[in-house]
Amino acid sequence: MDGKARLGRWVLLSIIVVTALSELALAGFSLQAGRFKGSQIGRVLLTGWLLWRVWDGAGWARWLVAGLFLAAAAFAIVLGVASPVVLARPEVTALVAGMAAVCMAAGAGLASPWVGAYQAARRGNEEAESDAAPHTIG
């Protein structure tokens, strides 16, 4: 694995950690507020599965998750600019702006060539291992 792929692994790992921590925080706040719903378990499982597919080298999952992060960032920007309720409360405006920044960074990180290089190296390693296995038997 070259330096570009190693950097991509760290970018991807940081995105996964931030996403997992925010999912856990959201679930914790929902439990604390008494508003936890069973559908949240499905969302957490789907998020985990998609991030695992990205880690495992699936290009379609990488682009899907990057698009979802960028769409969430665009929605937060529109909400922050167009909603008088958000503009009236500076703490909500800061929260929405922070969410937009984090989503934009995650989407850009997933779309980066470094993550693509990591995925290509990961797929290449798996193919090399599967090709080498029959040769070692005989």
Is there a contact between 14 and 53 (Cβ–Cβ < 8 Å)?
no
Residue 101 falls inside a structural domain: yes
In a domain, 133, yes or no: no
Residue 125: its pLDDT value, please?
A: 58
For residue 34, the 8-state DSSP code is T
Q: Radius of gyration of the chain from Cα atoms?
A: 19
The answer to whether position 137 is within a domain reads no
- Note the pTM of the prediction, 2 decimals: 0.79
35 within a domain of the structure (yes/no): yes
Give me the mean pLDDT over the 71-94 stretch. Answer: 90
Tens of pLDDT, residues 14-31: 999 999 898 888 888 888
Q: Give the pLDDT band of residue 1 (cuts 50, 70, 90).
A: confident
The domain total for the chain is 1
pLDDT at 127: 44
Q: In 3D, which of 106, 101, 112 has the Cα closest to residue 17?
A: 106
CA–CA dist 103, 100 (Å, integer): 5
Residue-number span of the structural domain to which 38 is assigned: 1-125
Fill in the DSSP letter of residue 57. T
The answer as to whether 107 is a domain residue is yes
CA distances from 121 to 2, 60, 68 (A): 8, 16, 24
Q: 99-127: per-residue pLDDT in tens? A: 999 999 999 999 999 999 999 998 885 44
- Tens digits of residue pLDDT in 51-80: 999 999 899 999 999 999 999 999 999 988
